[in-house]
Structure 1
Amino acid sequence: MKEDVQKMVTISNQKQKLWLAITMIMLIFLQYGAVVGSQRVPAMFVFGDSLVDVGNNNFLSSLAKSNYYPYGCDFRTGTPSGRFSNGETFADMIGRLLGIPYLPAFADPNTVGTRILHGVNYASAAAGILDETGQHYGERYSLSQQVLNFEATLNQLRTLMNGTTLSQYLAKSIAILVFGSNDYINNYLMPSMYSSSYNYNPSDFANLLLNRYTRQILALHSVGLRKLVLAGVGPLGCIPNQRATGQAQPGRCVDYVNQILGTFNEGLKSLVDQLNTNHTGTIFVYGNTYGCFGDILNNPASYGFSVVDRACCGIGQNQGQITCMPMQVPCQNRSQYVFWDAFHPTEVASAIIAWRAFSGPPSDSYPVNVQQMSRI
C-alpha cells in the first residue's frame, strides 16, 4: 500500500513538472513573438466570441470591449489589442503551433489584400449562436453574421487566386469555432433580459443551439472549408462571474450551471460523429473544453496554479461581480491564476488548453487533435 501511494505521488510530481515545462516553453515563445513551428496549413480562420476575439469589437459600437489597460499587459507589444486576456488567446496559440502569424480582425479596415492570405479572425465579444444573444451589449457579430463576413473574405480571395487554387487552399486550411458560452451567460442565465429560460428547458435550449449551429457549420462547409474544430463550452459555473452570484458555497462552483451544459457538449460531440460520417473528405473535431478546463480546476497544483476561484483583475466578490476596469491594477502573480477577469482565462491557462487541443489524446480533442488534423 505504501509503495502504491509513493508511486502515485511520483506520477503526480512528474505530471506537474511536465505541464510546468510545457507551459514555460509556450510562454517563452509567446514573449518573444515567435512562430512555434513551420507553417503546417495555408491559413486559419477563427469564428467565435470574446474567448478568441482579437479586436473586432474595437470597431463596433459595443460595450463589450477590452481595448484598455490592463488588458494586454503581458501581450508581446505590452499594449491592449482588443483581446480579452492579459496576453494571447487560445486561438493565437493554436495559430503559432501551426506556424500561422497573428490573424487580423475582420472589422479592421486594413484587413484587405495579401493581409488575409494567412487567414482572418471574425470572433466578436458577446456573440452567440443565436442572433439575439448578447444584444444588451450593443453591436456584435453573431455566428450567422460571422459566416456572412467569411463569405465577404472569400470574395476578396477570389481576386487573389484562381478557382482551383482557392478550393485547395480552403480544403487544407483550418477553421476554429468557439461558440455557446454567451448563449448561456448572456442569454439563458439572464431571465430579466431574455425569455429563453421561460420558453425552453435546459435540454430543449441546448437542442435549439445545436440545430442553429449545425446550419451555419454546413454553410461553412458548402463554401469549401474541410477542416473544422468545434470547441465545446467550458465549466461556466466555475468562472468568477458565476461564483460571484452567491448561488454556491464559497470555494464551490455553481453546479446547476455546469449541469445544464451537458446536453450541449454531448450533443456537439455527437454532431461531430454525424458530420464526419455524412461528409467524406472533411474532418470535424470536437474540442473538450469542459474536460480540459475541469481538469485544471480539479488539479490546479499539477499545473502550477494556486488561485482558481477569483479573477486576477475584477471588482467585488471573487473579483467577478464587475469585470476588469480601465487602469485597474491586476494581480502580480498572474501565472498562478486560472482566471484573468470575470469571464476569461489567463494566458497561462489558455496555453494549457491550446497545447491539449493541439497534441492531446481523443479525450481532449476528438477524434483527432489539431496537429493530426493538419497532416490529413
Structure 2
Amino acid sequence: MKIFILALVFSFITCINCISRITDSHLNNGASFIFGDSLVDAGNNNYLRTLARGNIRPYSIDFKPSGGNPTGRYTNGKTIADITGELMGQKHYAVPFLAPNTTGKALIHGVNFASGGGGILRDTGRVFINRLSMDVQIDCFNITRQRIASLLGPERARNYIMTKSIFSVTLGSNDFLNNYLLPIFSVGVRRALTPEAFIEDLITHMRGQLTRLYNLDARKFIVANVGPIGCIPYEKAMNRVTDSECAELPNNMALQYGARLKDLLQELKQNLPEATFVYANVYDLVLGLIRNYEQYGFTSVDTPCCGGGQYSGLSPCGPTSILCADHTKHFFWDAYHPSEAANKIISKQLLHGDPKYVTPMTLQALRDL
C-alpha cells in the first residue's frame, strides 16, 4: 500500500511539473487540428492495414525534412496543411494522430487526423478496407483533447483550444470519387438516392460533425468545399474527355455540394455562439489555376508528374513510374493529388487571398481573432 501511495504521489508531482514546464510562450503560435482525406494526410494511413497508402517512393521525394523518403503524404512534398502551418509561423508540423511519437508537448502544436480514403460518410472509401472517416477522426480529437488537458490543466487547455487553435476540414472528395461515383460500390446508393439527395445526406452528416467539434470546444473553423474533381486526371481518363474538357457529372455534384456547404456554415454561425466559420472555395480557386495554368508557371494540367496511361490517370504512382523532369511544372503530382508547387499557390490564397476564394475572412485573420 505504501508503494502504491508513493507511486500516486510521484505521478501527481510529475504531472504538475509537466504542466509547469509548458509556458505561455510555448502556446503563442497556437495549434492546427487537421481533419481530412489524402489531400492533407501526413501519415496516419501508415499505421493502418489499408490499400490507401502514400508511404512508397516517389511520394515525398521533395519533402526535405524526411530527406525525400516517403512519409505517407500523397504528393511529392508538402501538403496544403503543412504549408499553411509554416506560413502562419508554426515551427512544427501537426503530427499524425496514429504516430507513436504523438505524445506530450508535440500535441500542443496540433494534431493531424486526416486519412487517405476517408470521407464524411462512414461507408466512403471501403474499397481501401481501412481508413479514418470524419466520425472516427472526431473520436481521435476527443482523445487528444483529454491528453492536452492532462498537459495544461483542464481550464488552460479549454482556453487554448477555444482561442488559439484552428480546426481545418478538408473532406468530401472521396464521398463522390470513392462512394457515389465509384462503379463497383455505388450501384445500390445511386439507385436509392439522386445526386441531390446524396448531397443532402452529406450536409446532414457534416452539420452533426461540426456541431460535435463545437461541443468539444472548437471555435475557429476553416472548411473547404470539394474541388473540381471532374478535372483530375483519373476522372478525365474514366470519362474519356478531351484535354480541354472536364467530366461534367463530378464537377456538377461538387458545385452543388459547395453551395449547400456554404449555406450550412451560415446556419451554424447563427446557431453556435462564438464560433467562426471560414469557407474555403477551393473549387473556383483550383479551377482558375487549371484554366490559366501557364500564368502560374505550369506546363501541364492534363498529365500528372507521376503515373501512366491516358492523362496518366489510370495507372498508380509508384516505384516503377516514370517521373516528369521538373516536378514544379505539373499541377498534378498523381492522378488525384496536386503537386507541392500547386499546394503552395493554393495555401497562399487561403492565407491572404481574394474574398471569392476565402470568406468572410482569410486564414491569417482567423488565426488572429
| TM-score, normalising length: structure 2 | 0.89
1:173 aligns with 2:158: no
- Cα offset, 1:238, TM superposition: 0.3
Alignment pair present for 1:73 and 2:65: no
Map of 2:144 onto structure 1:
153
Quick check: 169-178 or 329-338, which moved more?
329-338
Deviations 1:75-125 (A, max 9, x none): 112111000000000010111111221111111122111111101000000
Q: 1:192 to 1:140 in 2, by over 3 A?
A: same
Matched residue type, 2:364: Q
Q: Distance in 1 between matches of 2:330 and 2:108?
A: 36
Distance 1:92 1:327 in 2: 27
Q: Are the aligned partners of 1:70 and 1:327 in contact in 2 as well (CA < 8 Å)?
A: no
- Name the SS for the 1:192 alignment partner: helix
Q: Are 1:39 and 1:99, in contact at CA under 8 Å, matched by a contact in 2?
A: no
Deviation at 1:250, TM superposition (A): 3.7
Note the alpha carbon deviations across 1:112-144, whole angstroms, 9 max, x for none.
111111010000000010001001111111000
Q: Distance in 2 between matches of 1:289 and 1:83?
A: 20
Aligned to 2:234: 241
- After TM superposition, list the pairs within 5 Å mapping 1:67-216 onto structure 2: 67-76=55-64, 77-100=67-90, 101-171=92-162, 172-194=164-186, 195-216=188-209
Q: Tell me which amino acid in the other structure corresponds to 1:141.
A: L
The amino acid that maps onto 1:53 is D
Distance 2:289 2:121 in 1: 29
- Residue 259 of structure 1: how far off its partner (Å): 1.0
- 1:163, distance to aligned residue in structure 2 (A): 2.0
Aligned to 1:279: 272
Which residue of the other structure, out of 300, 308, 311, is the alignment partner of 1:315? 308
Q: Contact 1:41 / 1:374 at 8 angstroms: preserved in 2?
A: no
Q: CA deviation at 1:329?
A: 3.2
Is the CA contact (8 Å cut-off) linking 1:54 and 1:105 kept in structure 2?
yes
SS at match of 1:46: strand
The Cα of 1:327 is off from its aligned counterpart by 4.2
**SS of equivalent residue, structure 2 residue 111:** coil
Q: Who wins on radius of gyration, i.e. which is larger?
A: 2
Please tell me whether the aligned partners of residues 361 and 368 of structure 1 are also in contact (alpha carbons under 8 angstroms). Answer: no
Corresponding position: 1:62 with 2:50: yes
**CA deviation after TM superposition for structure 1 residue 247, in Å:** 3.6
State how far apart, in whole Å, the 1-side matches of 2:35 and 2:60 are: 21
> Aligned equivalents of 2:244 and 2:69: distance in 1?
33
Residue 335 of structure 1: SS of its match in structure 2? Answer: coil
Say if 1:338 and 1:345, in contact at 8 Å, map to a contact too.
yes
Query: Would you say 1:230 and 2:220 are equivalent positions?
Result: no
Tell me, yes or no, if structure 1 residue 332 matches structure 2 residue 300.
no
| Aligned 8 A contact 2:27 2:108 in 1 | no
1:71 positional shift: 0.5
Structural RMSD (CA): 1.4
Identity rate, percent = 37
Deviations 1:245-283 (A, max 9, x none): 144234311122101212210011111111222223111
User: What is the one-letter code of the residue matched to 1:92?
Assistant: D
Cα distance between partner residues in 2 of 1:327 and 1:355: 33
* Cα deviations by residue, 1:184-229 (Å, 9 ceiling, x for unpaired): 0000111321322221111111111011011011100001010011
Q: Structure 1 residue 294: deviation in Å?
A: 0.5
Distance 2:349 2:115 in 1: 24
Structure-2 separation of matches of 1:313 and 1:73: 11
Q: Conserved in 1, the CA contact under 8 Å of 2:118 and 2:125?
A: yes
1:272 and 1:255 map into 2 onto residues whose CA distance is: 26
TM-score (norm 1): 0.88
Q: Secondary structure at 1:263's aligned position in 2? A: helix
Deviation at 1:375, TM superposition (A): 1.1
| Contact kept? 2:149, 2:158, Cα under 8 Å | no
Structure 2 residue matching 1:337: 3-state secondary structure: coil
Q: Map Cα deviations across residues 318-352 of structure 1 (whole Å, 9 max, x no partner).
A: 10102202242311122111100010000010111
**Equivalent residue, structure 1, for 2:292:** 299
* Residues 5-16 of structure 1 mapped to structure 2, 5 A cutoff: none
Q: What amino acid is aligned across from residue 84 of structure 1 in structure 2?
A: Y
